[in-house]
Amino acid sequence: MNIPAAKLGLPNGSDTEIINLKCEPALLGGLRQSSGVYPAYHMNKEHWFSLDLNSDFAAEEVLRLLDLSFDLTR
């Protein structure tokens, strides 16, 4: 989804594209230290996070997290 960057606490006044993904709480702590990872936008922040698709987060890692999120929501 496309949201104002300020919703993620970013100083830029433009919009950014994010995806909300689900993960296990134990994994979430380490992920939140990564660039482009933020507390979930409009979701439970214990199990969900927002990933800024305009960040330099590795594409392979995005695909891995997408698969994990899909498996957790089944």
Predicted confidence at residue 39, as pLDDT, reads 87
Q: What does pTM read for this prediction?
A: 0.84
Predicted confidence at residue 5, as pLDDT, reads 87
Comparing C-alpha atoms, which of 18, 25, 72 is closest to residue 50? Answer: 18
Predicted confidence at residue 20, as pLDDT, reads 93
How far from 9 is each of 3, 6, 12, 31, CA to CA, in Å?
12, 5, 9, 17
pLDDT along the chain (74 residues), means of 10: 87 86 90 87 83 90 94 91
Predicted confidence at residue 72, as pLDDT, reads 93
- Burial-class residue 39 by CB neighbours within 10 Å (0-12, 13-18, 19+): middle
One-letter amino acid at 51 equals: L
Q: Which domains does the chain have, with CATH numbers?
A: 2-72 (3.90.1150.30)
Predicted confidence at residue 2, as pLDDT, reads 93
Comparing C-alpha atoms, which of 43, 32, 33, 56 is closest to residue 1? Answer: 43
